[in-house]
Chain A
Amino acid sequence: MSTDYALLFRALLPEALLTATALLVIGLDLAWGPGRSRGSRLQMAVGAGLLGLVAAALVVWQDGSQGTVWAGNLRLDLLAVAVRLGVLGLAALSLLGLTGARASDQPAEYVGLALLATVGFLQMAVAQNLLLAFLALELASLSLYVLAGYDRGRPESAEAALKYFLQGGVSAALLLFGFSLLYGITGRIDLTGISVALAAHSDASLGAVAVGMVLAAFGFKAAVAPFHPWAPDVYQGAPPMSAALIASASKLAGLAFFWRILWSGLGSLSATSSLTGGAGGGWVPVLAAMCAVSLLLGNLVALAQVSVRRLLAYSAIGHAGALGLGLLAAGEVGPGPMFYYAATYGLASVGAFACLALLERAGDGDRIEDLAGLRRRSPLIAACLAVFVLSLAGIPPLAGFFGKFVVFAAALRIDGLGHPAGWVALLAIAMSALALYYYLILLKQAWIADDARARGRVDVPPAAALGLVLAAALLLVLGAFPALLLGRF
């Protein structure tokens, strides 16, 4: 028993480190901060937070994959390690981006909350048990609600947070209700037990309701239609680096989370059916339909946006469709393509939001026209933004292209067009051609249009510049050598 606890401690050491760092950041700020400028308090908090993230990443990297721990309740497989590292990296990038955002009056608490959200993400990646999963999800979500409303000066921020909270709360309630039904049907709360019991059980309606509720919660987390409406408002209203965390790390962790629940837990309900004689049924076609709607809606509505952040939000809804496709395909070909897509998409999103944060600090609005003349005002931001946007658009040789390529190839490999995922992949390909149009609008403004108001240069603090360049370089490197990630799965 004692060795078991030692193992458990070892497995949860990254979470423990981050929690300690979060407390340390807040404590340091209380002891050292009063009387100092916001800038130096922010630097202290970000510095300490980065140290904690790096330490946690080192521990994760050192330990590697260890199989299941603590009576099978935690699963530290390859995907868990990859997602944990990815989440830590994305969180670190958004902290770097924070140094280029408009300073808030309580920087230390912001960093502390971001670290606690990261703890939630780390847990989401490993939870193999409904209770742990629910707790991890709620820890992450509650931190994110507060982060979304952190800008106390802007009513939009509070409104975005409230909207995010209400939809998040409803989706959490749905998920919990779904979990309670799963517990009722199977009598278990560990995913392995659930999958064994489900395979031997039959209770049509309850199972369907439970699966529906889990899918709804997934739709909320990943912003898949029709559970997407929070996304545009939150992306627009929340402070940019909160939106970055919501768009990147939260999605990556959520994808791993639902991959475990849907495939390890509910895999036996995926496609088979006793009533319709094996044709259709299950949650796979339903998820495929959600993805298709999401792809259509996100990409189409993005065309009409005048706000850059709303445009990114709707494009994120489109991307969520593709991510869902990756999740579908993951049951057949493993989570590699899905992870690659989510990680590289997260990188591009964090980068894009970091650019927007810098512009916001310089006093710009977030209309697309406000990007005009960026090329002159800050070549660095313009160049990095181009990399992020082109990666989102899926232009080779950036990582975004290979994300799309491997996910679509995986979806088509399941059974060609004999499987709904194949058709959704075709739709996704068509939509990525459409998406190029609105991404080009962004680039056109940043690179070609001239600034009518002749605004001054945009100031880029060194840490923020480092974050931007890191993210852009990673996108280039991962695009040139996809095997760095894909080869490990």
Chain B
Amino acid sequence: MLHASHLWLIPALPLLAAAVGAAAPRTARRLPVALALGAIIGSFLLSLAALAGALAAPAAKLTANFTWFWAGSTAVRLGWLLDPLGALMSVLVCGVSVLVFIFSTAYLRDDPRLGRFFTCLSLFVAAMLGLLVANSLLLLLVCWELVGLASYLLIGFWFERPAAAAAAKKAFITTRLGDLGFLLGLLWLFHATGSSLFYDGGAGVLEGGALERLAATTLPGGWTAATGIGLLLFAGAVGKSGQFPLHVWLPDAMEGPTPVSALIHAATMVAAGVFLVARVFPLMAADQGLGGVPVHALTAVAVIGSVTALLGALLAVAQTDIKRVLAYSTVSQLGYMMLAVGVGAWEAAVFHLITHACFKALLFLGSGSVIHAAHHEQDARRLGGLATRMRFTYVTFLLGTGALIGLPLVFSGFWSKEAVLHAAELWPVSHLPFLAGLAGVVLTAFYMTRLVSETFLGRARGDGAAHAHESPRAMTLSLAVLAVASVAAGWIGTPAWPWLQSQLTGAPVAAHGLGEGLGLMILSTVLVGAGIAAGGWMYAHSPRADDRAPDPLARRFPGVFAALVARLWIDEFYAATVGRLLRGAAALAAWLERWVWGGLVSLTGRVAETTGEVNRAIDEDGLNTGFDRASDGLRDAAQRYSRAQTGEVQGYLRAVVVGLAVLALLLVWGGIR
């Protein structure tokens, strides 16, 4: 049993390991590894103790708060929070981390920067654990940013590859967009309630008084403050958890080493968004009972979640890179979790989060095992026939697949997805999330069947696959443990024995047996079967002959397939809209700038030029470089501005005098006495 005031020990251990590892000389390669492993195992034991403490009183929010500093008369307070949600997540994060760490020792054995890798991983785990036990939105944000930083470092770990460096930048910038919302939400919340603590013996922001006030404050347009803050915080979650429309960074993030993909971009960090929304669920739900509110925060969550669930599954269908298939699958599954939170069943979301962490980590590590064995070949078109050469990896990968697509009764994914769908079915507002979820079930079964068939069945279609052999013991050990977890993790939350749900909510949830959801279970089983059958018919039945043969799906539906390969042109859409907008703003800015300088004379010329500029921008079609184009547009604007600084000091002085005149006019107009 761990007391709340000692919770800080859990993140402190890996943090210490990261600090010592960073300071260690480059020659001591084994030291950071040993430290990181020792620290994470220590944290794992501590989180087990914390879980025991939390489960002893699941309804109580055990906190340990302290004043960090005074800013004027306002105290900024931080604290730790011990409740089943945080404790369970800590156990999960530590557990998966232990396995991924062990896996990495073998996977990166020959990398010269092994020590640095483990230092970064430890930093990541420390920040992630800090995020989980924080009792303050501010502390959570600090950890949130640190998690992002560690992710940035790890995606770009192989910085010699330009793609890795670009992906790291894209991930960082895209998630920052969401973080902007988070920060605004935090400031607003702090402004409105004067506290950033979640629970503070009745004075926290997630407790009665503050929630009532937030729900009672209305903004223009009928929105409540709770809705506004909830939506802003959700924006942060959208960025971190790869939800539509900010999902574009997650597939690119697969440029990082595979263990990183498994730990950070599948099991833990990307789930932080879901965790955040689950953590502030009382705030998100505060406006639920009110009439006359145009948008409920949770409705937006449900909509975004269902769009993402469907979109991710669709995009996964046409990918050929193993890790990218899994990445889009992660996007889709995160969509399911958000959907569950949105329809009010946050405990189902956390359930799915836990099972997903197990089986997606398994799948990623399995793909890592394949990539390792096939000499860094990760294009499924050039793999194939690995089932016989890598029997152990194949079997565990199959188990993970079964969990992901939700094969009935045995696998964990079946139970958690059933919980999500069950909640979506009962949602009074709309049936669309439910239908999107069902469609996603078919697609999931389809693309996973495709992936397994292409990778493991048929003949080897490339040198890497032809000479592959089973991975070393440290890797298969992790696979084995995760495979067991992928199957068994579902048993803690079945309808017959909803232990997890009742612990999370702190109130007993009635077991309703298998009877109530039986129809749904049969339906989803049928859908899974249909997906497997379609995938098997297209891919397993008649596998590709060689790596250049067209995709069977492309032969049948060329138009659809092309659209999916192009990822529905979402990246291009950003280039065409955001990039254009910025360029328009640039033209406008340039016009304003020169007007100050050159006076009215050049006004007409500039207007003509601006229209020309806009015209050209409209004519130019087929932008194709994606999100990065947006930053180019920004750079353009900057260069135009920059040219205004001509180097002539009298030009500067003229600008200064014009500025002064404007200032004086404003002051006189404002009516200074």
Contacts and interface: CB of A to CB of B under 8 A. Distances in A.
A434 interface: yes
A17 B224 CA distance: 60
Given A201-B673, A481-B69, A300 B634 contact: yes
Given A395-B149, A486-B71, A412 B672 contact: no
A229 to B, nearest CB: 3
Given A227-B656, A227-B659, A396-B146, A429 B183 contact: yes
Given A304-B641, A334-B72, A396 B667 contact: no
A440 interface: yes
Interface stretch (B330-338, B453-461, B646-654): B646-654
Contact of A429 (B180, B651, B663): B180
Interface string B133-167: 00000000110011001000000100100000100
Nearest to B642: A304
A162 interface: yes
Interface in B636-673: 637-639, 641-642, 645, 647, 649, 651-653, 655-656, 658-660, 662-664, 666-668, 670-673
Contacts of B172: 436, 440
A280 B668 CA distance: 11
B184 A209 contact: no
A425 B667 CA distance: 22
A397 B664 contact: no
A62 interface: no
A16 interface: no
Interface stretch (A87-95, A143-151, A365-373, A402-410): A402-410
Contacts of B617: none
A205 interface: yes
B670 A482 contact: no
B71 A162 contact: no
A167 B631 contact: no
Given A226-B658, A483-B68, A437 B638 contact: no
Contacts of A426: 184
Given A426-B184, A429-B180, A170 B653 contact: yes
A212 B177 contact: no
A263 interface: no
Given A167-B652, A303-B634, A481-B69, A436 B672 contact: no
Contact of A301 (B183, B188, B638, B647): B638
A285 interface: yes
B67 to A, nearest CB: 9
Interface in A183-236: 198, 201-205, 207-209, 211-213, 215-216, 219-220, 225-227, 229-230, 232-233
A300 B631 CA distance: 11
A286 B656 contact: no
A475 to B, nearest CB: 15
Interface stretch (A64-72, A267-275, A463-471): A267-275
A448 interface: yes
Contact of A282 (B634, B645, B658, B672): B672
A47 interface: no
A178 to B, nearest CB: 10
A310 to B, nearest CB: 8
Interface in A54-90: none
B302 to A, nearest CB: 27
A477 interface: no
A333 B660 contact: no
Nearest to B26: A379
Nearest to B667: A208
A433 interface: yes
B433 to A, nearest CB: 31
B514 to A, nearest CB: 48
A292 B97 CA distance: 45
Given A167-B656, A233-B647, A281-B672, A302 B638 contact: yes
Contact of A273 (B74, B176, B645, B670): B670
B652 A163 contact: yes
Interface string A138-181: 00000000000000000000000011001100110010000000
B246 to A, nearest CB: 13
Contact of B71 (A227, A229, A401, A410): A410
Given A304-B639, A487-B70, A212 B653 contact: no
A207 B673 CA distance: 6
B390 interface: no
Contacts of A305: 638, 642
A336 B664 CA distance: 29
Which 7 residue pairs spanning A and B have beta carbons closest together? A275-B671, A226-B659, A483-B69, A229-B652, A304-B638, A281-B670, A303-B638
Given A213-B660, A216-B663, A303-B635, 15 more contacts: A208-B667, A274-B671, A280-B671, A303-B638, A333-B71, A333-B72, A336-B72, A409-B71, A413-B74, A413-B191, A425-B187, A433-B179, A434-B634, A448-B159, A448-B165
13 contacts: A229-B655, A233-B647, A281-B672, A285-B670, A300-B589, A300-B637, A305-B638, A337-B72, A401-B142, A409-B187, A436-B172, A437-B634, A483-B68
Interface of A: 162-163, 166-167, 170-171, 174, 198, 201-205, 207-209, 211-213, 215-216, 219-220, 225-227, 229-230, 232-233, 269, 272-276, 280-283, 285-286, 289-290, 297, 300-305, 333-334, 336-337, 395-397, 401, 406, 408-410, 412-413, 416, 425-426, 429-430, 433-434, 436-437, 440, 444, 448, 481-483, 486-487, 489
